[in-house]
């Protein structure tokens, strides 16, 4: 029963029905969604850049600098930026701090639950090269080998001002039509999955190995 989940009634199913973990997640490969052409796509990118809802994935010290962003001193709401509680409500995924063998599975799962277009920010030196844990047996050194990253924010830890600067860079990329890494993930899906499976041994989630 370790891989079974008991849920209340959802989608018309009786309460208490059992599901395997894989049944709760989509088994389909992601598809490339080509951007529209001309003025309409530029308008959509402008709207996307000015409405960034982020999901913070704090693995350790990496999340501590996100909280000040919501205070009156920094007030990221004025930039159209606000936090959301779930992947399906978010378009920006912020990985704050080191990623370990244990947490990379949750990072991949959360990323794949997000709807396109979606963007990733790597917060802190640990997401770039492992940081102070670069030679640890249990640390992921290159986050962009497992999910695509749009903006890295260097530092240990970056101050709130640096995070806001990272958001401004992301806004710039989106407006220029360069925020297409979700499509790159779909195009190079097999490469990303190969890298993920080298690390994730207890997969217990959509395996895509038809």
CA triple 107-108-111, angle to 5 deg:
85
Q: Residue 186 pLDDT more than 90?
A: yes
Higher pLDDT, 25 or 196: 196
Residue 6 has pLDDT above 50, yes or no: no
The per-residue pLDDT for 81 is 92
Query: Which tens digit of pLDDT belongs to each residue from 130-144?
Result: 888 888 888 888 889
pLDDT digit string, tens, across residues 22-59? 666 667 788 888 888 888 899 999 999 999 999 988 87
Give the pLDDT of residue 168: 95
The pTM of the full predicted model, rounded to 2 decimals, is: 0.83
14 pLDDT band, cuts 50/70/90, is low
Question: Torsions phi, psi of 83, nearest 5?
Answer: -80, 155
Q: What domains sit in the chain, N to C, each tagged with a CATH number?
A: 52-199 (3.40.50.12280)
Q: Are 133 and 109 contacting, i.e. CB atoms less than 8 angstroms apart?
A: no
């Amino acid at each position: 029963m370790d891989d079974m989940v008991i849920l209340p009634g959802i989608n018309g199913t009786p309460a208490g029905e059992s599901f395997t973990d894989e049944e709760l997640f989509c088994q389909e490969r992601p598809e490339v969604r080509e951007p529209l052409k001309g003025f309409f796509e530029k308008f959509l990118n402008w709207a996307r850049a000015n409405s960034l809802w982020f999901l913070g994935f704090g693995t350790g010290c990496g999340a501590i600098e996100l909280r000040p962003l919501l205070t009156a001193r920094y007030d990221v709401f004025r930039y159209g930026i606000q936090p959301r509680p779930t992947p399906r409500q978010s378009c920006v995924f912020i990985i704050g701090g080191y990623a370990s063998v244990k947490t990379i599975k949750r990072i991949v799962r959360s990323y794949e639950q997000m709807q396109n277009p979606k963007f990733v920010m790597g917060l802190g030196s640990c997401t770039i090269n492992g940081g102070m844990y670069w030679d640890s047996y249990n640390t992921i050194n290159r986050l962009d080998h497992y999910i695509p990253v749009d903006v890295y924010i260097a530092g240990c830890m970056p101050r709130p001002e640096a995070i806001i600067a990272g958001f401004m860079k992301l806004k710039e990329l989106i407006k220029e039509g360069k925020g297409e890494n979700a499509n790159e993930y779909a195009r190079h899906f097999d490469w990303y999955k190969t890298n993920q499976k080298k690390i994730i041994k207890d997969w217990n989630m959509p395996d895509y190995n038809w």
